[in-house]
Amino acid sequence: MREKTMKNLFNLKMLIPLVGISMPMSPGMAGTQSTQAIEQIINRYEAHLNESDAQSIMRLYGKDPVFMPQHSPAQVGRAAVKKAYDSVFANIDLNIKFTTYEIEIYGNTAWARTSSAGKTTIVSSGMKITEGNNELFVFKKEDGEWKIHRYLFSTTTPRQ
Amino acid sequence: MREKTMKNLFNLKMLIPLVGISMPMSPGMAGTQSTQAIEQIINRYEAHLNESDAQSIMRLYGKDPVFMPQHSPAQVGRAAVKKAYDSVFANIDLNIKFTTYEIEIYGNTAWARTSSAGKTTIVSSGMKITEGNNELFVFKKEDGEWKIHRYLFSTTTPRQ
């Protein structure tokens, strides 16, 4: 029954464990709340990407983030992460949808696997291209709020 | 003192927490052993990639792995992951070195952030190109052994 609810909640596409909760101090309901909080971060991240809103994205990241954009070294720290998003949005306008496959929570740490798909408009030319990525997130609960701690994505579109 | 040893051990390049151990059942020494075991998996993974040895790589993966190669949907399950590595090695011959920045362990789950850099030889043409990637790993301890559970990498080389 619980598994079915989870499947409906999270758009599960594969028969893999969706949520592994291992929290000695806060089992059950707290786990579900955390899962929903993390799902909400992913939803907000999708919305702010589509709005090209780097400032709102930075509210989703924690104190010591690492963002790993493609074709770039890892961006370490809030200033570098913000600059990287500003650069992304100067070049492309995203219209994508995330799908969450798995969220696992361990105390104040969690990870999630997602994919995203949609269209990207190249700002300079107006050209629209198909966009698709796999993503891994690591989250940390900081001062009671879940935040993005590590984030890596990689294209799924065939090699040109 | 402990921090210094960790830095030496893991080639830490940035002042970020390297190892966060949160294991109610096995603190201290067990944590260090797990960290070393995971570091060893990354070292073996590097070696087997450079040897184009898909069979040995599969011994590092767990029961229900997901491998997310670039330009491809996520490969779910051992058969799909093996096939993906076979396909990679049919096309390219890697000579790369991994750097591990962070390993965090939570009971039977862990994650690690690494980068890799070196050369790739295109098998069909013999052409050598510069290779660079960021990676996120999720590990699971299965039957007492740490295994790769989720693995995503993304290029760091500038857009061509």
Q: What is the pLDDT of residues B81-122, one digit of tens each?
A: 999 999 999 999 999 999 999 999 999 999 999 999 999 999
Q: What is the pLDDT of residue B84?
A: 98
Amino acid at A56: S
Q: What is the pLDDT of residues A80-137, one digit of tens each?
A: 999 999 999 999 999 999 999 999 999 999 999 999 999 999 999 999 999 999 999 9
ipTM of the predicted structure? 0.82
A135–B155: do the CB atoms touch at under 8 Å?
Answer: no
Distance between CA atoms of residues A127 and B43, nearest Å: 42
Tell which residue, B44, B52, B125, B131, has the closest CA to residue B86.
B52
Strand A128-142 to A109-122 pairing: antiparallel
Chain B contact probe: residue of A18, A154, A156 with most B CBs at under 10 A: A154
Q: What is the pLDDT of residues A18-77, one digit of tens each?
A: 444 433 333 344 568 899 999 999 999 999 999 999 999 999 999 999 999 999 999 999
Q: Which residues of A touch B19 (CB under 8 A)?
A: none
Q: Which residues of B touch A150 (CB under 8 A)?
A: 111, 113, 136
User: Is the four-CA dihedral A148, A152, A158, A160 of positive or negative sign?
Assistant: positive
Instruction: Give pTM, 2 decimals.
Output: 0.83
Helices and strands per DSSP (H, E), number in chain A: 4, 7
Within an 8 Å CB–CB cutoff, is residue B135 touching chain A? yes
Distance between CA atoms of residues B34 and B30, nearest Å: 6
Average pLDDT value for chain B: 85
